[in-house]
Structure 1
């Protein structure tokens, strides 16, 4: 893992805002950006699982979009920023499409610990880190400065009181 830069934190802040928009829209609180090597945001996505399709994660949507809109030789130089570390499905999609670095605000371990602490069951898929699924993908995170805010968004999403 490498350290987070001020630019990384700016992009992660936008991801948290997208996560809040997702939650306010009735979806799980996750948001992501695809950024080209010059720092230009190519696309934003937020979780859209509320309609019943649990595969509509923003990270996978970005990978699908990149496959059709970003040149294959450019994809490895792009960065995906996301409010939460990729799940195994999204990690695999990211790797298969050939995208580059992933920067996340909250880790899978953090989210799992929060959910467990609230007495919630584990999800239907193992809570693996990105590199357990896609060992060649460079990753950075979590961003400790955003942890409390993300924890609160996920607490609200879970329906757990205070």
Structure 2
């Protein structure tokens, strides 16, 4: 169940996604919160330089593997503006991170990008639990998803690109 703390962290993810957009990257932002409620890592998409793996969720998984115990990772929550892609979901599962809360779903993003006539994604659009069965995943949330949709509209109108990374 989503609560005020979840909304606060999802709002921060949308701020980070806006920062990504303003730096020429597709609008995705994510935050890692430990079991005490402390923000341990935050980031946004950095794929504009040509490395399509520079997703914030992937960076969170790598950071968590290097800086947190397995128990701390399992008790942590990853908040993100958009549901993990298969690459990021797999990284999440491999390092044993816990709950995922996302503002907008991969299915929504796929629909929005089709409406914008963007090129198809180079990887399949799959729900998190198809990649990592059993990880607690919550989302999307309609009010927040609309803000994410607006960021994607801006990105694709400003960049005229099919890059979904």
1:38 Cα deviation from its structure 2 partner:
1.2
Distance between the aligned counterparts of 1:136 and 1:61, measured in 2? Answer: 22
1:136 Cα deviation from its structure 2 partner:
1.8
Gaps of 5+ in 1: none
Distance between the aligned counterparts of 1:8 and 1:139, measured in 2? Answer: 12
1:77 Cα deviation from its structure 2 partner:
0.2
Q: Which residue of 2 aligns with 1:21?
A: 19
Q: Which consecutive segments of 4 or more residues in structure 1 shift more than 4 A?
A: none
SS of equivalent residue, structure 1 residue 135? coil
Cα contact 1:9–1:143 (8 A) shared by 2? no
TM-score normalised by structure 1 residue count = 0.95
SS of equivalent residue, structure 1 residue 74? helix
Identify the range of structure 1 (13-22 vs 117-126) with the bigger mean alpha-carbon deviation.
117-126
Q: Which residue of 1 aligns with 2:58?
A: 60
Q: Which residue of 2 aligns with 1:136?
A: 134
C-alpha deviations, 1:47-96, integer Å up to 9, x for none? Answer: 10011100000000000000000111211000000000000000000000
Gaps of 5+ in 2: 161-165
Q: How many residues align?
A: 159
Q: Residues 135-154 of structure 1 correspond to what in structure 2 (within 5 A)?
A: 135-154=133-152
Q: Which residue of 2 aligns with 1:123?
A: 121
Distance between the aligned counterparts of 1:73 and 1:104, measured in 2? Answer: 22
SS of equivalent residue, structure 1 residue 49? coil
Q: Indicate whether 1:5 and 2:3 are aligned.
A: yes
SS of equivalent residue, structure 2 residue 57? helix
Q: Which residue of 1 aligns with 2:112?
A: 114
Name the Cα RMSD after superposition.
Answer: 1.2
TM-score normalised by structure 2 residue count = 0.93
Identify the range of structure 1 (77-86 vs 136-145) with the bigger mean alpha-carbon deviation.
136-145
